[in-house]
Structure 1
Amino acid sequence: GRPVVDLPGLGGGGLPGQPTATKAWKIHYRSTTADGAPNVVSGTVIVPQDGRTGPRPLITYAVGTVGLGDACAPSANFPHGTGLEANLIQQLTWRGWAVVVTDYEGLGTPGTHTYTVGPSAGHAVLDAARAAQRLPEAGLSTDGPVGIMGYSQGGQASSWAAELQGSYAPELKVKGTATGGVPADLQRVAAFNDGSYGSGLVFMAAAGQDAAFPELKLDSYLNPQGKALVDFFRQNCVAVDATVGSFKRISDLTTTDPLERPEWQARLNQSKLGRTAPAAPVYQYHALGDELIPYAVGRSLRADWCARGADVQWSTIWVGEHVSGVITEAYAAQEWLADRFAGRAAHGTC
């Protein structure tokens, strides 16, 4: 088992601004880096106070991009009612489900956040579920049903958790994964965003890869403007990052393009999804008009999973763009997970 350290902080208090009566705890728990070394990750366990007896479903929830600075970590924002996805998480606790929200590697803990490093994020999501089940105060069972959920960066993390679960955490009773807006192929996503609205995310991703794999030496590729931008990203959160980083070209901020280097391509390829079929059923959704993560990237992941025999139910979000997709599809994704927890058969659409 992976021991849990309960921290002062939330310490079993409720969450501000949430109508459901809950208790929440900040935890530090053991996990694993992308290359298999042990690490420690922080997170938040949230349990409804509804008198329920019997096994309570647990959602291990992977948030979308919050930024690289420690102040952006979900656990730093929940006590103040400033968590970006707190309302979506509240919809899960309203159903009587416990939720654990990982901060991911390096977000709220020492070091730089390994943003977009898929295997690290997948480990953090799975180990968060293990940690929540072992937190005595939470009252969860180690053989209770588990669901995995996430969108955008959280789509990558939840999809990686789904792919890794059968080998990394086979004891978890994962009933299904709801994953959306998934950046399944970082090289395709980077090419799509170069010079456009989402270009800041490309440089944040480069900083995240460099944090995980220092031999990539990101700073050696950056010109002074590029170094200043990446240093800014390392300290700040997504709302300001996206604005400051928009419409920048890789060629404007680098002396040579790191994405053309084989060592960078190999590390980005390490985060490519679709090579392993998730053991549990998947509900995958993507906005047709997604301006940050191309719809075709999501469709490719679905095709790869289906070809490997996965049980995938696909949903196209016909109206809206990337950020609205997590909200408009939330109810359908929750209902799908509720069906899995109720023991109903999944109906994949491969």
Structure 2
Amino acid sequence: MHRALRRVAVAAAVMLSLSFLSAPAHGAALLAGTVLTNVTATLPTELSPLATGKRISYVTTNVNGGIITATGLVLTPKTGKNNKTVAWGHGTTGLADQCTPSTSQSVFWPEARAAIAELLRRGWTVTAPDYPGLGTPTAHPYLIGLSEARSIIDSVKAARRLDAALTAQYVVDGHSQGGQGALFVNEIAPSYDSPLVLRGTAAIAPVSNADLFAPLIPGTAAQGYLVMGLYGLQAIDPTVNPSTLLAQPARDRVSVLQSGCLYQILDAFAPLTAEQLLVGGALPDAVVTKLARHLNPGQAASSAPILLVQGTADEAVPYVITAGPLMSQLGAYSQPVTFRELDGATHDGAVFQSTTLVADWIAVRFA
């Protein structure tokens, strides 16, 4: 199906779901996790021998509790299925609809394929949500933890509606943006995931402590992440206006947010100086505070054990932030936190090097 037709189909699903909610038939309303559409998915070559796939659109909620639609994949093992579910949280792909992993294999990153392949080999059904705004008409609330977490949880609910044999037990495994989302799942699960039972979360190089790293980004090759972060914040807080924060040379390049995906965005903003990126060369303190409020995991108690994996040579998420402040923040609560340092591992390399480690840890959680 052409991308334009897919957008029409998704938009129709959104309007259909909202019409049901405003005038529910026989008093019934669509619940979070309700499957709106499901079609057979074409999987990457690394995964097609291991699983059958469905691309779904399903009901989830935004950070204010309002009903929205999200999309994603449900992958069912072809052999050895044991009726447990692992949700995979993908790393950053971009902001535009062409950056949707469930429909664009060019952003179904190789490290994600490797991680999911190992999960499928263990017999677990895998959900791979796209996150709100990727593949749907709304803006993507990039790095907004509560947005990611709700869509991750509701993807598991949706999978159980497609397959009644799946138990309520689930684990979340995520990388980078998805690792951050996994940690937020652990915080909101008690109030949001019923009737599911969270057994644990594995977070590989998760984004955290935005108040520490965001002020250090201007003038570096990571500036594209910051620009995306500002637009992600605007998606839930319209008082944040990136156009007034970005300097003219950066504003001249923002069209790449819709025409490109992650690597095109990073390339577009990398050459700028701090003063060419931001007015005055720095973020206002009020914006840094808002980023921390919405991006930082560890501000509430975890509800299940955590596995934290971090490479020492990570070029995107600083090792010192994960091993230092984040570990301290997560360790302040009662749930156990296991930290695994991967010497010399890069941001993506940490996923490749930890596929067995993570799957073994998940197996213990399910046992």
Question: Per the shorter chain, which TM-score range?
Answer: 0.7 to 0.9
Determine whether 1:111 maps to 2:111: no
CA contact (8 A) 1:60 1:129 kept: yes
CA contact (8 A) 2:86 2:173 kept: yes
* 1:128-139 to 2 correspondences below 5 Å: 128-135=155-162, 138-139=163-164
Q: Which residue of 2 aligns with 1:283?
A: 307
* 1:103-182 to 2 correspondences below 5 Å: 103-135=130-162, 138-141=163-166, 143-182=167-206
TM-score by length of 2: 0.84
Q: Which residue of 1 aligns with 2:88?
A: 61
Determine whether 1:335 maps to 2:366: no
Q: Name the CA distance, whole Å, in 2 between partners of 1:97 and 1:178.
A: 15
Q: Name the CA distance, whole Å, in 2 between partners of 1:263 and 1:286.
A: 27
Amino acid across the alignment from 2:58: Y
CA contact (8 A) 2:132 2:140 kept: yes
CA contact (8 A) 1:156 1:183 kept: yes
* 1:5-20 to 2 correspondences below 5 Å: 5-8=36-39, 10=41, 16-18=45-47, 20=49
Q: Give CA deviations for 1:10-41 in whole Å, capped at 9, x if unaligned.
A: 2xx66544353421111111112223322111
Q: Which residue of 1 aligns with 2:64?
A: 35
Determine whether 1:239 maps to 2:257: no
Amino acid across the alignment from 1:290: D
What residue ranges of structure 2 are gaps of 5+ in the alignment? 1-30
| Among 84, 95, 99, the residue aligned to 1:72 | 99
Amino acid across the alignment from 1:27: I
CA contact (8 A) 1:20 1:94 kept: no
| Among 77, 85, 95, the residue aligned to 2:122 | 95
Q: Give CA deviations for 1:66-106 in whole Å, capped at 9, x if unaligned.
A: 1112111111125x895542232122112211100110010
Match of 2:198, SS? Answer: strand
Q: CA RMSD in A?
A: 2.2
CA contact (8 A) 1:59 1:147 kept: yes
| Among 318, 322, 330, the residue aligned to 1:305 | 330
Match of 1:161, SS? Answer: helix
Measured after TM superposition, the shift of residue 182 of structure 1 is 1.3
Q: Which moved more, 1:62-71 or 1:228-237?
A: 228-237
Q: Which moved more, 1:281-290 or 1:253-262?
A: 253-262
Q: Give CA deviations for 1:269-294 in whole Å, capped at 9, x if unaligned.
A: 23221122221111011122222212
Percent identity over the alignment is: 25
* 1:218-237 to 2 correspondences below 5 Å: 218-237=242-261
Q: Name the CA distance, whole Å, in 1 between partners of 2:113 and 2:312.
A: 25
Closer, same or farther in 2 for the Cα pair 1:57/1:66, shift >3 Å?
same
CA contact (8 A) 1:20 1:48 kept: no
Amino acid across the alignment from 1:56: N
Q: Which residue of 2 aligns with 1:24?
A: 53
Q: Which residue of 2 aligns with 1:346?
A: none
- Size of the aligned set, in residue pairs, is 334
What residue ranges of structure 1 are gaps of 5+ in the alignment? 343-350
Closer, same or farther in 2 for the Cα pair 1:121/1:280, shift >3 Å?
same
Closer, same or farther in 2 for the Cα pair 1:296/1:81, shift >3 Å?
closer
Closer, same or farther in 2 for the Cα pair 1:105/1:35, shift >3 Å?
same
